[in-house]
Structure 1
Amino acid sequence: MRQRTTSLGLALSLSCSLIWAADLRALSVAPQDVVPQIDGRLDEAVWQRAPVYDQFVQFQPEDKKPAAWRTTVQVLLTQDALVIGIRAYDPAPELIRAPLKRRDTVARDQDFVSVVLDPVGQRRSAQFARVSAAGVIGDGMFTAEDDVEDFAPDFEIEAAAQRLPDGYSVELRWPFAALRYPYSAGLPWRMMVVRNIPRQEASTLNVSAPLTKDALSFIAELQVLGGLDELQQQVRDRSFFSVRPELTARRREDSQAGQPDSRQREFNIGGELKWRPRADWVIDAVINPDFSQVELDTPQLAGNTRFALSLQEKRPFFLESTDVVGQTKADDEGQNQSLAAFYSRAITDPDWGLRATWRGTTADATALSLRDAGGGQVLRAHAFSTDSYVQPAQSLASFARGRMQWAGLNLGLLLSDRNYGGGQFNRVLGSDLSWSASDSDLLRGHLLVSSTKTSMDAEDGVAAAEQGHRVWLGWRHRSEDWSSQLNYEDVGPRFANDNGFVSQAGYRRASLSLHRRLATKSLAPLGEWSRFPTYELEWTLKLAQAQTLRDASQDVPGGELIERRVQPGFWIATARNTGIWGHLGLDQLRAKSGGNLHSPRTLTLGFESNPHDILSFVTAELEWGRRLDVEADRLGTGANLWLLAKLRIPVPWGLGLELEQQWSEGYVSAPQGGRSFTDSYRQTLLVLHLNARNSIRLISQDTYFQRREEASLAAMQASTARRSLMYQYRQGLSRIFSLGLNRADAGPGGLSHGTELFAKAQMAW
């Protein structure tokens, strides 16, 4: 039996090597050829001559298996763009899921194809574009170090899809102006095509590259895109320039109890400029931008936490070159990614901004500077809490970062400066590294030092300059059997970064996350027992310990235990793209310096799934048990529940209707019975797509927090209600018109109200 298994494995390995020996190739479109019209049909004569690639393999739910359904890829090279044609064959085309959706909401519940493109050729980062069977686009950046897809960046791409009797086809036009690549000595461009096939019994993800789940990142095996030998010489000196003016008209009314009403009318003229003088340089500028059409931030439960919470960036100007900037992003557990050097949400209301980005084969760099009108938050973090101050009226925010790469070793240098005027400032200087020690191991780290001198750090006047540091080291290992991550942090009490995000300082923390993967063949009995196939099972263990560093100004001694976490758990992947996870919380936590060391005991269970073509996605997580009430500094029975459901409701006349519902509630009980506090939010998002370009969006969200009065605790109640209704016409990124109405009420009792009516037009040339 062992000999037969070995022979089969050898045969599979040989067949795979033969499959991937041929890379994707592009065909140059001759001057006499008709350039394809982007309509999704693939019916122009030039498509008949373009090389066809169809050697796809399955990546999910099980990797290393040949793809069951055929997918073909063809690439054309025109004078100013790559044009990619993809044919997705389907034996049951009536089951294709192709709803009208918003841009960047193309997810695993829909049939889509995705093009992942790395024109630098180093497989450090890649631009990607998803196109659904309905022609909806989702695009962004993928960074290998974080192994994360970021849908925030948008590119000037054009795509269309066409439904066919035996599947669907897609045409994607990717202009060279929207690609970022070196001027000279560049490596071959790399690409991978992905196809997602959602079905009731299983959701399948097929890829054109030899990618396996033990790879360090999703872009570890991008294929060389051949046929581009003369491309670099042809287009590297070509200059691209675009200007995007915008006009916003706004009428606002505000009322507050005991204050006279306020009415304002405002006309705002602003715009963005993008200039690519040659292949490796991109210059961006923004003047007086207005972000009134950006979606409301999703609320977060903040009533039982000691620290500030980060928010996702949605403003277009900040999303260019995010891979070079190393912008702070939240990971799957809500923690901040490692390089907390730049956090664009720290820039509240920019009057103007300028940024330059350069990319070479073995190096890249970016620098930006913005004048911020202020009004937001400035954070000053401590070991047990985060203080928040109002930003000064005006400041100049500047940031620069450069990286060099040598055979798997990346070294970076960064500088951050926030100048408030009057001798007040915050400056950060640092260096970061990333080293791919092997195909399975990645080592990362950084050292940041800060110098801060502001009035926010003193009770009267301007404090003397204070210095701080932040050290982080991280190791990630991924193999067929194990996925592990080890981190060490040391953050000085006076470390501050007003262009970044620092929610906690004055601590030293070590953490370890272990995931033990079981072999697929050992999971067969589980599938028979549960009625559903079990594709993956992981046993998990998370360990962490944090202690204070001495901070005399906060009366915090050194070596005091902040937290010790022990969390054994599991994760299961099964049919319908379903994931089920859970863990025990056998932790020790301290709410304040000198306080008791508590031992909460909790059980966390969660799941996510694409259960139906109507209920396209649902996820929920429940934490229950003995939880810590931070403000009361005690344990109590409590729970924290979060639920997100996405529905696609069938609508006649070719319309599309999206409905998303989020709800979260947390509480901890008091010793004498009843709830000590309740913290909750809910958000409803409803989008009616009149067609591919016109939509009406409604957002309704409410937050509520109430704390009961006790002997040592004052009663507290706070609530907000926000409503947003907007009509939008959108033709790619070049023409956007928005008309909206926003309403905000704050309580309790509706103490303040604000109503805003706005119209905004954006054009691009």
Structure 2
Amino acid sequence: MNDRDGVRAWALVLALAFALCGAAPSVAAEGPRALRLAPGASTPVVDGRLDEPAWAEAPLFDQFVQFQPEDKKPAAWRTTVQVLVTADALIFGIRAYDPAPALIRAPLARRDRIGRDQDFVSVVIDPVGLRRSAQFVRISAAGVVSDGVFTADDDTEDFSPDFDVQAAAQRLPDGYSVELRWPLAALRFPHAGGAPWRLMIVRNIPRDEANTLVLSAPLTKEALNFIAELQPLGGLDDLVEQVRERSFLSVRPELTARRQQQTAPGLPTARQQTLNLGGELKWRPRADWVIDATLNPDFSQVELDAPQMAGNTRFALSVPEKRPFFLESSDIVGQTQADEEGLNHGLVAFYSRAITDPDWGLRATWRGASAEATALSLRDAGGGQILRAHAYNTDSHAQALASQASFARGRMQLGGASVGLLGALRDYGQGLNTRLLGSDFAWAASDVDLWRGHALLSAENLGFDAQDQALRGPTETGHHLWLAWRRRTEAWNTQVHLEEVSPHFVNDNGFVDQAGFQRVTLNVHRRLPSQTLAPLGEWSRFPTYELEWQLKLLQTQTLADASQAVPAGEVIERRVQPGFWLSSVRNTGVWGHLGLDQQRAHSGGPLHAPRTVTLGFESNPNDWLSFVSAEGEWGRRLDVDADRLGLGASFWVQARLRFPIPWGMGLDVEPQWSEGYVNGPDGRRSFTERTHQLLVVLHMGPLDSLRVITQAKDFQRRGEAVPVSLSADKFGNDNVSVVYQHRDGLSRVFSLGLSEAQATPGRQRNIELFAKAVWGWSR
């Protein structure tokens, strides 16, 4: 395909997008109202009981509707919500009635692990009032909390941010009740001129016959995102005016003691003991500003990243962020989002995991009524990887230099659209740096249509010699252009992505795994009307709540890159994947597709035609096997290093088991396993890759837990002389981590842990023992 053919393909996809475009009306309804407590009035104790006098006076809202498994239906379970307003907090009282309270699933769990397999209620609040993003807190029937941020543009929920809230639950003869105290200091709202605060209450009821989700807002599945119908929270009156000048300060000092030992065959044992004093500060001088600072942060208690299979790809893999400093107002930063196909869409300007070991950091975030902005700068001690992406692979270089990483982004709301400006700088000293400047936008053209895009320009002069040492090279410039359209109606869900990344686009503050290409993606999902699904339920003996026919099309082709000897217009990959997705009882989803694809392993190589079948499912079977998910691909797969097709497969399985233990304790067991292989011409495996992780958590009470993680990853390639020359290769690593943690909110945490890591070849072994204490205060 030449450049002209590529332009025609892009134009055809855009024409199809506009042909399908249209509008649908939204539904509005009055939501809950709050009761303002008089100064000096007695405030409820957060114990989940709802028995204080204030609850008898607060307005009661109970107009809930069903969203899943089928929308547009009245809620079968009664749920009520009441809201109180004090001088410094919102207090929510939620009553979840249940005709079979013995079936309520309320196991002990870790923070941020409250999912659809448990009974929970959730408070979703947008204090800005524009329904662009919303903070949420889930509380299970056991009183365990999950919290995070919804982002409308991506229609995603991020559980990484943590809010300093108080919550409690009480089991009752006819259900359970929940109290949630949400301090105003933990809400992000404009100083003046903001829209009314918006709210939605969510309740999840897991049962064998159906996993039901009911909402206080009239949301339907054709909505562009989950927070599209948040309703105004009445009764707040002049609350914002009264508290907008109030200052809040939180200081969290931390002390970490660590002992490390490193051994390797033929080398003396290296031992090191360190004592690290650090901490974090969060200051909100008034409603619209938040200042964050960190000094010598230690992340030893952060959970290990799950291993990923990477032996049959030449591109870098991204991992999620878990470090608290980077999680303030993550919706403004706009970090990279990987879709279900593994493609990194969204704003790729900032990827916090590119900052490996920060010595200190400072960040300021501002939210106005129609604009917001954030800026941060951190000193990174180094030790990570610097990526340089190409059309067929990602080069990785050791980050031996310390650097200063800076990023800023501002965004303005213009009616149904938003426009942003951003800049990034990675300064390695000695005149070495990478720079980024760009703009992004999002436009809700109607209630069912969303357009997004960005244009980024980069410049860098950081090169590497043959020994992988950093040096100053000629300044290289590049660009990253991206345009996306999403349309969601009752019957259709259509997504189009157009992307172009020039060969020398670089962003050392972001994640760039591929460059020097053009890509067009079209995903079309056709949802069948519910009345046509009844015969399927009779045939399968299980009701079918939703069924989608899917078609996924993708083409990626090269841009000319003389430095890599890559010509223009060379097809890297084509995907043609017809498939399906259906949902049934126990929150079960089943999916599958045919892979009628084409792939090229390197420039100038043959364009292979792999043929595969993929099937997968996930479910919440019962209270002890609370979650299970599996996916498998089988057929003729591409062996990238051998540059040939072979019969092979790839499998992935994950489960979550929960067991009650006497004395009020609980046990979580979460195994995860994956394997992939491709056979050679002789029918024997050319390579095999395996990963596994076993996570075991003993909950000794609401505040204490013992977490054990074992994980391993290994890759083996068989040596071959013909028909291609391949050297035998074998590498792997094993990790074990044991951590006891006592957590009382966000400001009082004690952790004691032991970890061991072994790598092959070389049999290098690292053992680390640490103790960490966090004792914070706020005013």
TM-score, normalising length from structure 2? Answer: 0.95
* Alignment partner of 1:487 is 2:500: no
1:450 maps to which of 417, 437, 458: 458
Q: 3-state DSSP class of the match of 2:751?
A: strand
Kept after mapping to 1: 8 A contact 2:335/2:348:
yes
Task: Give the CA deviation at 1:327.
Answer: 1.3
Match of 1:5 in 2: none
Kept after mapping to 2: 8 A contact 1:546/1:562:
yes
Match of 1:687 in 2: 697
* Alignment partner of 1:524 is 2:534: yes
Task: Output one character per residue of 1:702-756: Cα deviation in whole Å (capped at 9) or x when no partner.
Answer: 11100000111100001211000010000110100000000001124x6111100
Match of 1:757 in 2: 769
Match of 1:498 in 2: 508
Matches of 1:580 and 1:132, distance apart in 2: 27
TM-score, normalising length from structure 1? Answer: 0.97
Match of 2:719 in 1: 709
Matches of 1:382 and 1:437, distance apart in 2: 35
Matches of 1:335 and 1:127, distance apart in 2: 26
1:672 maps to which of 676, 682, 691: 682
2:738 maps to which of 725, 737, 743: 725
When residues 490 and 760 of structure 1 are mapped into structure 2, their CA distance, relative to the original with a 3 A threshold, is same
Kept after mapping to 2: 8 A contact 1:27/1:76:
yes
Match of 1:297 in 2: 305
2:127 maps to which of 111, 119, 134: 119
Matches of 2:52 and 2:241, distance apart in 1: 27
- The 5 A counterparts of 1:81-160 are 81-160=89-168
Task: Output one character per residue of 1:387-436: Cα deviation in whole Å (capped at 9) or x when no partner.
Answer: 00011320000000000111111100000000000110000000001111
Match of 1:373 in 2: 381
1:512 maps to which of 514, 517, 522: 522
Q: 3-state DSSP class of the match of 1:534?
A: coil
Q: 3-state DSSP class of the match of 1:650?
A: strand
Matches of 1:738 and 1:621, distance apart in 2: 35
Task: Give the CA deviation at 1:673.
Answer: 2.1
Task: Output one character per residue of 1:76-116: Cα deviation in whole Å (capped at 9) or x when no partner.
Answer: 00010000000000000000000000000000000000000
* Alignment partner of 1:581 is 2:622: no
Match of 2:757 in 1: 744
Task: Give the CA deviation at 1:32.
Answer: 4.3
Task: Give the CA deviation at 1:532.
Answer: 0.6
Higher relative contact order (CA 8 A, sep 6+): 2
Kept after mapping to 2: 8 A contact 1:399/1:414:
yes
Match of 2:22 in 1: none
1:427 maps to which of 435, 442, 446: 435
* Alignment partner of 1:333 is 2:341: yes
Matches of 1:595 and 1:332, distance apart in 2: 28
Matches of 1:566 and 1:686, distance apart in 2: 40
Match of 1:272 in 2: 280
* Alignment partner of 1:161 is 2:169: yes
Matches of 1:631 and 1:664, distance apart in 2: 20
Task: Output one character per residue of 1:485-531: Cα deviation in whole Å (capped at 9) or x when no partner.
Answer: 00000000000000000000000000100000000011000001111
Instruction: Give the AA of the match of 1:758.
Output: F
Task: Give the CA deviation at 1:649.
Answer: 1.3
Matches of 1:763 and 1:457, distance apart in 2: 47
Task: Output one character per residue of 1:188-223: Cα deviation in whole Å (capped at 9) or x when no partner.
Answer: 000000000000110000000010000000000001
1:393 maps to which of 401, 405, 411: 401
Match of 1:614 in 2: 624
Kept after mapping to 2: 8 A contact 1:110/1:198:
yes
Matches of 1:134 and 1:307, distance apart in 2: 43
Kept after mapping to 2: 8 A contact 1:312/1:329:
no
* Alignment partner of 1:409 is 2:417: yes
1:188 maps to which of 196, 199, 207: 196
Matches of 1:216 and 1:357, distance apart in 2: 27
Task: Give the CA deviation at 1:336.
Answer: 2.0
Residue correspondences, number = 748
Structure 2: gaps spanning 5 or more residues: 1-25
Matches of 1:185 and 1:60, distance apart in 2: 36
Instruction: Give the AA of the match of 2:436.
Output: V
Kept after mapping to 2: 8 A contact 1:472/1:490:
yes
Task: Give the CA deviation at 1:159.
Answer: 0.3
TM-align CA RMSD: 1.2
Task: Output one character per residue of 1:621-664: Cα deviation in whole Å (capped at 9) or x when no partner.
Answer: 00000000000000000000000000001211110110000000
Kept after mapping to 1: 8 A contact 2:334/2:346:
no
Kept after mapping to 2: 8 A contact 1:377/1:388:
yes
- The 5 A counterparts of 1:199-210 are 199-210=207-218
Q: 3-state DSSP class of the match of 2:536?
A: helix
Matches of 1:243 and 1:746, distance apart in 2: 39
Matches of 2:465 and 2:423, distance apart in 1: 22
* Alignment partner of 1:644 is 2:654: yes
Kept after mapping to 2: 8 A contact 1:411/1:432:
yes
Q: 3-state DSSP class of the match of 1:418?
A: strand
1:560 maps to which of 561, 566, 570: 570
Q: 3-state DSSP class of the match of 1:464?
A: strand
* Alignment partner of 1:221 is 2:229: yes
Structure 1: gaps spanning 5 or more residues: 1-15
Matches of 2:694 and 2:480, distance apart in 1: 39
Q: 3-state DSSP class of the match of 2:617?
A: strand
Task: Output one character per residue of 1:569-612: Cα deviation in whole Å (capped at 9) or x when no partner.
Answer: 00001110000000000000000000110000000000000011
1:625 maps to which of 635, 648, 665: 635
Matches of 1:34 and 1:689, distance apart in 2: 34
Task: Give the CA deviation at 1:259.
Answer: 1.4
Q: 3-state DSSP class of the match of 1:234?
A: helix
Matches of 2:49 and 2:223, distance apart in 1: 35
Instruction: Give the AA of the match of 2:649.
Output: A
Match of 1:699 in 2: 709
Matches of 1:484 and 1:178, distance apart in 2: 36
Matches of 1:699 and 1:476, distance apart in 2: 39
Task: Give the CA deviation at 1:21.
Answer: 4.0
Task: Give the CA deviation at 1:34.
Answer: 1.4
Kept after mapping to 1: 8 A contact 2:706/2:738:
yes
Task: Give the CA deviation at 1:457.
Answer: 7.5
* Alignment partner of 1:478 is 2:488: yes
Matches of 2:546 and 2:464, distance apart in 1: 51
Kept after mapping to 2: 8 A contact 1:440/1:477:
yes
Kept after mapping to 1: 8 A contact 2:258/2:275:
yes
Matches of 1:700 and 1:252, distance apart in 2: 19
Task: Output one character per residue of 1:515-567: Cα deviation in whole Å (capped at 9) or x when no partner.
Answer: 00000011000001111100000000000001100000101011101011100
Task: Output one character per residue of 1:357-390: Cα deviation in whole Å (capped at 9) or x when no partner.
Answer: 0001110000000000000011000000000001
Matches of 1:359 and 1:710, distance apart in 2: 60
Matches of 1:602 and 1:332, distance apart in 2: 17
Task: Output one character per residue of 1:118-145: Cα deviation in whole Å (capped at 9) or x when no partner.
Answer: 0000000000000000000000000000
Task: Output one character per residue of 1:255-279: Cα deviation in whole Å (capped at 9) or x when no partner.
Answer: 0122111000000000000000000
Task: Output one character per residue of 1:140-173: Cα deviation in whole Å (capped at 9) or x when no partner.
Answer: 0000000000000001111000000000000000
2:671 maps to which of 661, 676, 682: 661
2:185 maps to which of 172, 177, 188: 177
Match of 1:535 in 2: 545
* Alignment partner of 1:551 is 2:564: no
